[in-house]
Structure 1
Amino acid sequence: MTNQTIANAERELYLTLLALAQQQPSAYEWLKQLPTWLGDIKDKANYAHAPAYQASVARLPELIVNTVDLNSDVLTIEASLSKSQRKQTTALLKQLMPWRKGPFKIGGQIGDDESGIKIDTEWHSDWKWQRVAPYLSTLKNRRVLDVGGGSGYHGWRMAGAGADTVIIVDPSCLFYHQFMAIRHFVGSADAHETGRYRTHYIPVPLEALPAHSQLFDTVFSMGVLYHRQSPFEHLQQLKGQLIKGGELVLETLVIEGDANTVLVPHDRYAQMNNVYFLPSVAALIGWLKKAGFHDVRCVDVDVTTIEEQRKTEWMTYHSLVDFLDPNDHTKTVEGYPAPMRATLIAKK
């Protein structure tokens, strides 16, 4: 017997955009493109693994869920889980590996690390959230866009912080289905009083969205800017999604230096071949101001450690320790400064 999790989630997304369009006509452009966006991600011609991912989500068992804590560092779904359900669920979730952003726990008691299925992801995404959250304007009753949201961990945390609507965008077929797996167990725990879901996922990149929609009070772009060949274009696209006075939360790789310092890796950076621009914090502040943002401030700078990003049972490939100089963890294997991330907040 299969569940209807994906179909239900997609219907909820449609109804949310329809309600939004009645207040903000620019959302009708999203509605027009939604069938294509949702059809493309399931097309085997586009993504060879799509049918297998769909099947894994569809076969997840129905559990009796007691509580869901979207405010917990380990996003916890407290539920009754028999031995057979635990075995089946673990096997299905492992078919959606690698799990990069989390962590999640399904079936355990809140605060009990020994029970349930703990999805120990490559990234301690909770650490990033702890660094960012204290500096945010309230998310309560806000519309939020999370760009490059991966499995959706941070999107769930935004809903946990009281956001009215969270839309995650990321073009990864795998991450979309990871989100749907977690959605299956979260169920309606994030719903409004109306019964509508608050957390949604559209499997497209930012540049596929209608430009200048101006639909969101807060836009997050965390871990995306350095993958863009044109950083100013990315900043303009982010600005176009914000209402006037809206808040941008930008987290990206940076390097030490003055307002004119920008690293452009010749080939790879920490074994990534799609890293283009690593500015200093001062340069990044200048970029944001040039793009038309104001009240720009850097709220956090943090060197990524091998404790925060590492290989786990749920992500068995090479991770950060393999991308650093084995004799000097202050450098990448290519000899560049090791990953350091800054979070900046700015207003439109």
Structure 2
Amino acid sequence: MREYLDLLKTADKDAILTRRAETANRLAQTKKGFLRFREPYEALHHLQAQFTDFSKDAVTIGRGTELSEADRHLVHDAMRAFMPWRKGPFDVFGVEIDAEWQSWRKWNRLLPALPDLTGKVVADIGCNNGYYMFRMLPHKPRCVVGLEPFLQHYYCFKTLRHLAGAEELFIELMGVEDIPLFPSCFDVVFLMGIIYHRISPVEMLREIRAAMRPGGVLILESQAIPGENPVALFPEARYAKVPGTYFVPTASCLRNWLLRTGFGEVEIFCSHPMSSEEQRKTAWMAFESYEDFLDPHNPNLTVEGYPAPLRVFLRATAPS
């Protein structure tokens, strides 16, 4: 496998390689929590797709006709083992995976503000199963590095990446708190659906800016509350049933956070209300979803009585 660190001259390679070795030792354990996702990944090692298409709404890896009936069943069972699927859709050797989020809608919204990715070194922080990373491939990045702290998504991505033979894509079992290991490394950073889960969002943005090359571009997407004033909601315990939600800002508050942390040319380029058409239960994600998070008598409020969320998109530039 290629080593993306060869492209990142300023990364703390010793610390990253040490972390990677520690992760490998931890994942080699035979505990059920590790085997649950490692085994389906290993079960498909003998397969690789002849056909891929990353330009359509559904990331397509292989055709059903490429496999024997036994291998088609193996793929189906492995994909089910990675449930619940949050981002998608995917079509893997004819197995159609309808994820909770129709992520193509978000991708289409950010396309008008997408910087030129040709030959660029890109980071996707909190990359989940890598849906957006695959969608970047037609734009010819030099490499895309995903940081993802959850084992389920980590192994799901590694499985999809192997099946697709996508050598430009990489993942580390890390979170946004590990971004200081990558000083002045990235031309483009995607931070989507993460910032409201951080207890210190301003400090996080400062660390992300430090991980960007001069003139690099940040694409930030977030939950937000309606309003023109630069304020943020801090829920008492939960927001839309999620306990790990801290600051839910207005779009103008997000813009000010970016400006105060040293970004320039900050643009709010999209804002839209959430809906159950975009985030919903499916056969591949059978738990509660968006409609369950709202007041059943007033869809403009969450179940806790807070304003229902918007989704907002911003583009910002690191100083040259």
Q: TM-score range by the shorter chain?
A: over 0.9
Give the match for residue 91 of structure 2: 105
In 2 relative to 1, CA 164–212 (structure 1 residues): closer, same or farther, beyond 3 Å? closer
Is residue 50 of structure 1 aligned with residue 34 of structure 2? yes
Offset, 1:81 = 2.9
Percentage of matched positions with identical amino acids: 34
Give the match for residue 20 of structure 1: 7
Aligned partners of 1:71 and 1:161 also within 8 Å: no
Is residue 72 of structure 1 aligned with residue 60 of structure 2? no
SS of the residue aligned with 1:76?
strand
Q: How many residues align?
A: 316
Output the amino acid matched with 2:13: Y
Offset, 1:141 = 0.9
Output the amino acid matched with 2:135: R
Offset, 1:255 = 1.2
| Superposed CA offset, 1:227-262 (max 9, x none) | 000011110121111001100111111112233321
SS of the residue aligned with 2:313?
strand
Offset, 1:43 = 5.4
Offset, 1:119 = 1.0
Aligned partners of 2:62 and 2:164 also within 8 Å: no
> Counterparts in 2 of 1:14-163, with a 5 A limit?
15-17=3-5, 19-21=6-8, 24-29=9-14, 31-36=16-21, 38-39=23-24, 42=27, 44=29, 48-60=32-44, 62-63=46-47, 65-79=49-63, 80-107=66-93, 116-163=94-141
Output the amino acid matched with 2:85: W
Offset, 1:267 = 1.1
Of 211, 226, 233, 2:203 maps to: 233
Is residue 346 of structure 1 aligned with residue 316 of structure 2? yes
> Counterparts in 2 of 1:185-224, with a 5 A limit?
185-187=163-165, 190=166, 197-211=167-181, 213-224=183-194
- Structure 1 CA distance for aligned equivalents of residues 317 and 97 of structure 2: 35
TM-score normalised to structure 2 length: 0.93
In 2 relative to 1, CA 100–205 (structure 1 residues): closer, same or farther, beyond 3 Å? same
Aligned partners of 2:15 and 2:181 also within 8 Å: no
Offset, 1:82 = 3.1
Give unpaired runs (5+ residues) of structure 2.
none
- Structure 1 CA distance for aligned equivalents of residues 52 and 12 of structure 2: 30
Give the match for residue 271 of structure 2: 301
Larger RCO (CA under 8 A, 6+ residues apart): 2
